[in-house]
Amino acid sequence: MASFWRAVMGSSTEPDALADGVEFWSNPERGGWLTKQGEYIKTWRRRWFVLKQGKLFWFKDHVVNRSSVPRGVIPVATCLTVKGAEDVINRQFAFELSTHRETMYFIADSEKEKEEWINSIGRSIVQHSRSITEREVVDYDSARVAEASRDQ
């Protein structure tokens, strides 16, 4: 997972590099405690998560302000699916978030919290992947128009 984060976020641990201009401390779309597996040591750790502007940040503490340093961030546009995973990891209130390279597992405090996180992250995936898809469609259509006019 560490190589994935370096590839996506670069090797910098500066808060601005991780945040990519997102003011995670102000008016998040969703915030709350989740338990996640550590990147290196595969123990389960409770972390405060903030979803804002297509990025899922996590912190050691629930007090998040301008000087807080995220412990990590997942750009949701890189995610393919978010869904329940209780049967997969045999833990109540578990869900998974999958990218092309890996699947990450999280545990919420209740069924309601799990469903709310899945819905919030799912909406964010759709919103942020749609803009990429629209650009690809426009580029594809423009290429077809240019190709057709060259052929005439």
Give the model confidence (pLDDT) of 90-127 as tens digits: 999 999 999 988 899 999 999 999 999 999 999 999 99
Token pair in block for residue 7? 């590839």
Helix (H, G, I), strand (E, B) or coil at 67: coil
Distance CA 9, CA 14 (A): 10
| Domain count for the chain | 1
Cα angle: 39, vertex 92, 36; to 5 degrees: 15
Q: Which domain holds residue 16?
A: 2-151
Most distant pair of Cα atoms in the chain: their distance: 63
12-39 residue pLDDT tens: 344 456 687 899 999 999 999 999 987 7
pTM (predicted TM-score): 0.75
Helix (H, G, I), strand (E, B) or coil at 46: strand
45-100 residue pLDDT tens: 999 999 999 999 999 999 999 999 999 999 999 999 999 999 999 999 999 999 98
What CATH number corresponds to the domain at position 53? 2.30.29.30
Which residues are CB-contacts of 39 (< 8 A; sequence separation ≥ 6)? 1, 2, 5, 72
